Amino acid sequence: MSKAYFIDFDETLLNTDKTVSEENVRALRDAQKRGDYLAFTTGRPFYGGSFLFKRLGISTYNCFLLCFHGALVYDLDRECIIHKTVMDKTNLVPLLEEINSRGIYLEAFSKDMLYCLEENDFTHRYAATTQEPFTVVDSIDEIVSHDIYKVMAIDYNSREELYKLQNKMENNSDNCFDSFFSNKWFYEFTEIGANKGEALRTLAKHLNLSISDTVAVGDEQNDISMIEAAGVGVAMINGKENVKAVADVITTNDNNHGGVAEILNLYK
């Protein structure tokens, strides 16, 4: 029986320097030879996720990309969208206005483009890391004219304003979006229910696989939903403590020492 492996990129499959080890690549190719499915899950946009996949140097055979925290499920071999969940436009306007009114830099993402209201050092720093193309627009209305999968509030200098925004969102009974920190600089928003766990269930159903035949590996807060949803949920030893707390298994090796290969070889 084929298995489906749901594998986070950053600090899971990738080394800390964003390279991928030969040990992990060999394990991925071995899984493909067995006829197993590889689903690469990331909070990154489609373009950035595709860029990382290409750097793996493996075939697209039986490979899928779950990006925007699972809001977009994409078949890399057939080059088609399996499922998508975009942000509701009516609720998106007040969210963007709230972030902008606080003087927090924001980015909004369609499938193929990053939109921002100004170009600054934060824009260049993010684009340099992710290779994401960006467009500066004049208004929030122009952003909302596109199908938006996620929004990011970014501050590379201080988390104080991001924490204030988080407090406002979490205490707002009318909040219409899921929100979370994906790292210490990024406070992110997606449509409610657009998460890696739901994406795992969606792809498993599409592939006619039982949930018991799924394995999920991650390290960060946005990986918790898929670790809980999978037949076997795995936390990296270098992962956050709250991620380890919900996992069935914790790797012996960290992301810099073939932690993913360890799991792919253990759960064949």
Q: Which residue's structure tokens are 């253990």?
A: 266
Q: Are residues 94 and 185 in the same domain?
A: yes
Per-residue confidence of the chain (268 residues) as pLDDT tens digits? 899 999 999 999 999 999 999 999 999 999 999 999 999 999 999 999 999 999 999 999 999 999 999 999 999 999 999 999 999 999 999 999 999 999 999 999 999 999 999 999 999 999 888 888 999 999 999 999 999 999 999 999 988 999 999 998 888 767 789 888 888 899 999 999 899 999 999 999 999 999 999 999 999 988 999 999 999 999 999 999 999 999 999 999 999 999 999 999 999 8
- Same-domain check for residues 209 and 256: yes
Same structural domain, 76 and 97: no
Extract the runs of DSSP E, i.e. beta strands, from 93-133.
105-109, 114-116
Q: What pLDDT, on the 0 to 100 scale, is given for residue 5?
A: 98
Q: Are 41 and 233 in contact (CB under 8 A)?
A: no
77 & 206 share domain: yes
Q: Say if residue 79 is in the same domain as residue 100.
A: no
Where does a domain end: 191, 213, 243? 191
- Write down the pLDDT at residue 1: 81
In a shared domain, residues 203 and 156: no
Q: Are residues 80 and 204 in the same domain?
A: yes
Q: What confidence score (pLDDT) does residue 197 get?
A: 96
Together in a domain, 110 and 157: yes
Contact yes or no for 109/42 (Cβ under 8 A): no
Same structural domain, 139 and 99: yes
Q: Give me the domain span that covers residue 56.
A: 4-84+194-266
> Assign residue 19 a region: left if phi > 0, alpha if psi is -120 to 50, beta otherwise?
beta
CATH number at residue 21: 3.40.50.1000
Same domain, 51 and 180: no
CA angle 193, 44, 42 (to 5 degrees): 65
207 and 186 in a single domain? The answer is no
Give yes or no: residues 57 and 140 share one domain.
no
SS3 138: coil
Which pLDDT belongs to residue 94? 94
Answer positive or negative: Cα dihedral of 49, 248, 183, 23: negative
State how many domains the chain has. 2
Residue among 14, 53, 61, 55 nearest 36 (CA) = 61
The pLDDT, as a whole number, for residue 148 is 97
CATH number at residue 119: 3.30.1240.10
Of 133, 164, 191, which residue constitutes the final position of a domain? 191
